[in-house]
Chains A and B, each alone.
Chain A
Amino acid sequence: MGIASRRGTGDTKVDVPITPMLDMTFQLLFFFVLNYNPSAMEGQMDLSLPTPKDMVKNASKPEKPSEMPGDEEPPEEPPEVTVVVKTQHDGRSDGVISQVSILSNAGETPVPTPNGKLDQLVDQLKKMRDDPALINKKDVKLQGDSRLKWEAIVRVRDACQQAGFTNASFAPPPDLGLGGQ
């Protein structure tokens, strides 16, 4: 190594061996270039699940007696909106949205989804929010078939969000356990 020193004068020249350092640096750079894997921007959404209390309350609800004409109006159902999403089971298009309907106090309302688009669902949900009879205007339940793809549920959730239902929770699939894991 070319290290020279001179006593007394204070003039010292230090040669740093740059070549191996550059080799090492290029090795590292090459490593990072090969392993560079740009991924899409990820975002996240908060989530809520039905609490055990809700599930127990719904399970223990007594069956309604048959209504006679002229009777007092039965107590209202919990002010909730449920979006039910069904999928096909033909073995070819399993997982895509085949039917969407909205369950509410007014009953079940089917919503057309031409070409899988959910614009009409958004419009329908917005109308429901504008209805003064709807008390809870933020919460919505999503219920999908077991074989429905996760992507479809997220799209429906987005539609609910657009309509103003900002708090979406997930209900168990009606055919839970039949799909298997």
Chain B
Amino acid sequence: MANVQGADTGPDLTAMLDVVMQLLLYFIFCARLINEQTTGDIKLPLSQAAKPMTRGEGEVLFININPDGKVLALGEDPMNLTQTKLWLEKRAQDYKKDGEVKAALVVRADRDTSYENVYKIMQACKDKGFRRFKLRAEMIGGGN
């Protein structure tokens, strides 16, 4: 019989490692989706008035507006104003509770987008029932 020295009975780690790897893969795929909502293609304007975001703001819907005035949303091709209105109508229905649209709209407009495009899109959002808006900008000096 071979001599076994000081062998401890330890837990079987193999199953636990499997679960850990599963979790890692899950976070990898989820992280990609979140990045698409705030696409890096949009160059935000600089602002001193921008404040750091706080958690617990309830449901939010992201709208990215590129320099051509097209709206970029998660899972959608770039949309013009008409397509955006249809999309907003569907989203407003999803977020409607007690007759009100509860979600806040986070508008990420590129710095080179024309004011007209941004105004029209925000007006469309307001027409579809969205009442809470947040404008995103790059903070200068750490924000207020």
**Contact surface of A with B, Cβ cutoff 8 Å:** 4, 6, 9-14, 16, 21, 24, 28, 31-32, 37, 39-49, 95, 144-155, 157-158, 161-162, 170, 172-173, 176, 179, 181
Look across to chain A and name the residue whose beta carbon is closest to the beta carbon of B57.
A44
**Contact surface of B with A, Cβ cutoff 8 Å:** 4, 6-10, 12-14, 17, 21, 24, 28, 35, 38, 40, 44-53, 69, 80-81, 106-107, 109-120, 122-123, 126, 133-139, 142-143
Look across to chain B and name the residue whose beta carbon is closest to the beta carbon of A13.
B7
Say yes or no: A39 contacts B40, CB within 8 Å.
Answer: yes
Say yes or no: B46 contacts A151, CB within 8 Å.
Answer: yes
Which secondary structure characterizes the binding site on chain B? mixed
Partner of B135, one of A41, A45, A149: A45
Say yes or no: A153 contacts B137, CB within 8 Å.
Answer: no
Say yes or no: A150 contacts B50, CB within 8 Å.
Answer: no
In whole Å, how far is B29's beta carbon from the nearest beta carbon of chain A?
11
Chain A residue contacts of B115, Cβ below 8 A: 144-150, 152-153, 173
| Complex alpha-carbon distance, A46 and B57, angstroms | 12
Q: Which 10 A-B pairs have the closest CB atoms?
A: A43-B50, A146-B116, A151-B111, A13-B7, A47-B133, A151-B45, A43-B139, A154-B45, A11-B7, A44-B134
